[in-house]
Homo-oligomer: A and B are copies of this chain.
Amino acid sequence: MVIILKKDPEKEQLANLINWLESKGLSVHRNDGVSHLVLGLIGDTSKIDMDLIQALDIVDGVKRIQEPYKKANRKFASEDTVIRVGNTQIGGGTLTIMAGPCSVESEEQIIAVAQAVKESGATILRGGAFKPRSSPYSFQGYGAEALRLLSLAKQATGLPIVTELMELSQLELFDDVDIIQVGARNMQNFNLLKELGHQKKPVLLKRGMSATYEELLMSAEYIMSGGNENIILCERGIRTFETYSRNTLDITAVPALKHLSHLPVIVDPSHGTGKVALIPSMAMAAVAAGADGLMIEVHNDPAKALCDGSQSIKPDLFARLAPRLRALHQVTHSEEVTE
């Protein structure tokens, strides 16, 4: 970390700052320039809150050299993380396709969808049991019963399952779940993240609607620092001024996160766009940008299960899309263009 001080800083404040930094175990190298003074810090600066130093009177700017995340950092682990689940894997050159309904509604529905998406090439089954809804009056998912139905679909198809956990007390119901999803609204629920670091299941961590890449990686770090290093990062759209799509799917997150971190990165074009018509194009874009996978909502009867199905595509559209995604992955994955 480099701290750039204002011209002629007040001496006592400067001494206080240096003492405090040294008390944190850092060695402080002072470079007196002609027009400004720069402090270079050597040591583990991940504990230092940059915003807070920035706010000091005598400080003109702070620039981190070492990213505040360590275990999630590409610099300290150049090899891509590969996560094995059931007979499949996420990362390491595989294109993972997670598909399934927004909400698990019945045994018939979930098994039919699971079989359909498996046949089309999905490798993991998604399905909502506990649903985060912005209104207390909206349907909140079938909870434990939905988890039981997901297990049946897993038995029927062999597909591993991923579903969202909203609070820690639900964890005891997740025995048969293969990947625990943390939703965008819980991306900075730090207590939840910490506890997920103390269990073994892989975690699919969705990016918060206004989270920076660094904040997403710091949330991954919360889980990893507890001992669980099997994290899948998921871009699902950020909040911008544009209202045509529900969110703005930030495809740049794919190459950026893969550059900053060794963790696998997937994209959710269903929530990221909120419009069925945009999903195929954006799924294709995600794969072309280098994503390790996709999470796509598929529902067998959007017209009947009206609301839960409206941002879902139907199995027949999925059946045409999935092979095209795999063909595209072949073309783009074969050989990367870098400097």
Contact = CB atoms under 8 A, between A and B. Distances in A.
B239 A241 contact: yes
A56 B304 CA distance: 12
Interface residues of A, number: 123
B35 A38 contact: no
Contacts of A55: 274-276, 310-311
B255 A278 contact: yes
Nearest to A337: B280
A223 to B, nearest CB: 9
A46 B251 CA distance: 34
Contact of A307 (B53, B212, B246, B273): B53
A155 interface: no
B276 A252 contact: no
A106 interface: no
A33 B35 contact: no
Interface string A25-54: 001010101111010101000111101111
Nearest to A259: B277
A282 B310 contact: no
A79 to B, nearest CB: 19
A200 interface: no
A324 B308 CA distance: 39
Contacts of A158: none
Contacts of A203: none
Interface string A69-110: 100000000000000000000000000000000000000000
Interface stretch (A111-119, A134-142, A172-180): A134-142
A36 B40 contact: yes
Given A275-B55, A285-B289, A213 B244 contact: yes
Interface in A220-273: 221-222, 225, 238-246, 248-252, 254-256, 259, 272-273
Contacts of A36: 2, 40, 65
Interface stretch (A121-129, A145-153, A186-194): A186-194
A68 B282 contact: no
A31 B259 CA distance: 28
A52 B311 contact: yes
Looking at A20, A55, A210, A277, the one whose CB has the most chain B CB atoms below 10 A away is A55
24 contacts: A20-B307, A29-B34, A31-B31, A34-B40, A35-B40, A46-B135, A47-B137, A51-B274, A55-B311, A57-B276, A68-B137, A135-B221, A166-B191, A185-B189, A238-B241, A240-B241, A248-B252, A252-B273, A252-B282, A255-B282, A280-B338, A284-B288, A288-B288, A313-B339
Given A51-B246, A52-B308, 6 more contacts: A2-B2, A47-B137, A210-B239, A249-B252, A280-B337, A321-B337
